[in-house]
Chains A and B, each alone.
Chain A
Amino acid sequence: METPFKIIDHTADIGIAVNGATLQQLFENAAIGLFNLIIDSSTLEDYTEYPISISSTNRESLLIDWLNELIYVYEVEHIVFKRFTITIFSDTHLESLCFGDFLDNKRHLIKREVKAATYHMLSITNDSDGFHATIIFDI
């Protein structure tokens, strides 16, 4: 199995290259990658459960909308997520349970502010190893 994600450089911003055995797993790993950019995930608990459902026009947009929804929930509800289970999945719709921790500056080490997931350089491909995506975040 390839690594779930790795951080990639971009002159002004930062990105992740994500892998998954299935498309569903790719989406879960992208979310893990996102929160690794935001916070030191080793400091997180996962006792808070938060359901998220997203509908979009195609799978690329679904991926961007999914990540932007997570950024929104983090910023507004102050929940930092560690683990994701996507329960229902199609190219245009997903339902998930996200597990995380309420942000606590005493316990958590925040790394950076992520403004949004962008469409820049976005691609979802698949081959015999599974699914792959590159996502650039605006920070």
Chain B
Amino acid sequence: MTKWDGKLHKIDTYRWEISPDYKPGMRVPGIVYASDAMMENIKEDQSLEQVANVAFLPGIMKYSLAMPDIHWGYGFPIGGVAATRVSDGVVSPGGVGYDINCGVRLLRTNLTEDEVRPRIKELINHIFHNVPSGLGSEGKIIVSEKDLNHLMVEGAQWAIKKGYGYAEDLDATEETGCLQGADPNAVSAKAIKRGMPQAGTLGSGNHFLEIQIVKEIYDQAAAQIMGIGFPGQVLVLIHTGSRGFGHQVCSDYLRVMEIATTKYGIHLPDKQLACTPIQSDEGKKYLAAMACAANYAWANRQCIAHWIRESFVMIFKKSAENLGMVQVYDVAHNIAKLETHHVDGKAVAVCVHRKGATRAFPAFHEAVSGMYKSIGQPVLIPGDMGRVSYVALGTEKALAETFGSTCHGAGRLQSRGAAKRSRRGSDIAHNLEARGITIKTGDVAALAEEASEAYKDISEVIEVADRSGISKKIIMAAPIGVIKG
């Protein structure tokens, strides 16, 4: 792969600027959050070129941003954030990605490592059978076309009405698990057909479930509000998205955008950035279809959380209430949201594209409610499979600098092919077991593609996010059990 050799200006310890002079057509500078050491790796591929390309989008405000987990995507870099003015800016499906509302949900429990570790194999096996996962997995819930119409509009609320979880879960979910503006008429028959059998499935690839142990607490008071009180406490993390439904919505609208880009005379350096004015018919329809896919993903994580609670109840013979299985939070990290932000002292309606980036709103923001009002929105940042994960909080600085956004994970360092060539899936499984991590997967060979060494060190990513102030780290947790789809 060609190394990126453009010019970067170091603004401060963790911020780098790509000047709008770098490429004619850039409307704003690019800003990348990274340490010196990370920047050397980032330059190895073309992700910085993608930061510059995103700056071409009509109506983009302030900067084309990249979070510290930046890596090479298609169109947008993964870790990319771009806010476009709603009045005259564009929306780009490439700024959301194929897995619309891929995201993370975290549950806490009252259980301790000592109580769970002796039964971890049994627990993981039970969850593996209770939560459909793996390549082309299909769900155990029968969703009719009529059901799907409700699911697309209501999101996690649909699942709760069907008995999967509690109303309180919604208070601890971004957008209360239901993005407004969803219109099933904007969704193709193909997406519906792909979506019906896959509701309530984990899928495969980088999607996983983890049973984790709290290792470090950096802010006891904030952790307490999240229901996390002591090292050794058991947590459950769910990482999945909108499955084939979201992939089809993205594919369908990239075709629409290809035509719209020409129709509206938009000049772009990369076809994968295809976009349309937010106010155009095509833009409104995409946002309506994207909201359906976002809601599909929230319903999906809601069902999965329910089956995980069921498995804990079966194994530990206590009710979910007695086990204290309360949802800490649920975040989206592939999404475009209509939000109001202050730009040059004025409130502006913008469409914030977060492609592998997480919303990170501070305390007392109107979108942060309930128990989090006083501390800010929890940000869930999973590491790669088998390494540590973090819980952070949104900050005022994120709101001021990154349209209220921070990183979403570790970010890949190595291609899947390279990862697979340099190690075997079965060795990875043995290594994890040797480190006291029980792993269950339907596809051992594919484990190699998700090996830890294929990813950046999550702790380095978190340090940059924390020290640069775009989120505040609160908790670190490590897995003792993993289910990989």
Contacts and interface: CB of A to CB of B under 8 A. Distances in A.
A72 B190 contact: yes
B248 A14 contact: no
A113 B72 contact: no
The size class of the interface chain B forms with chain A is 35 or more
Range class of the A interface residue count: 20 to 34
B53 to A, nearest CB: 11
A76 B193 contact: yes
Interface in B393-437: 412-418
Given A115-B99, A119-B271, A11 B74 contact: no
Nearest to A68: B251
Interface in A63-86: 65, 68, 72, 75-76, 78
Contacts, number: 95
A100 B418 CA distance: 30
Contacts of B204: 112-113
Interface in A83-116: 103, 110-113, 115-116
B481 interface: no
B198 to A, nearest CB: 9
A3 interface: no
Interface string A37-79: 0000000000000000000110011000100100010011010
B255 interface: yes
Nearest to B413: A11
A13 B274 CA distance: 19
Contacts of A122: 271
Given A7-B417, A72-B190, A113-B204, 12 more contacts: A9-B417, A11-B1, A12-B73, A13-B416, A14-B417, A111-B445, A112-B135, A112-B446, A113-B205, A116-B98, A120-B74, A120-B270
Interface of B: 1, 45, 47, 71-75, 78, 97-99, 135-136, 190, 193-194, 203-205, 244, 247-248, 250-251, 254-255, 258-259, 270-272, 274, 412-418, 443, 445-446, 449
22 contacts: A10-B72, A11-B1, A11-B412, A11-B413, A11-B414, A12-B415, A13-B416, A61-B255, A61-B258, A72-B194, A76-B194, A111-B446, A112-B204, A112-B449, A115-B244, A116-B250, A119-B258, A120-B74, A120-B272, A122-B271, A138-B97, A138-B98
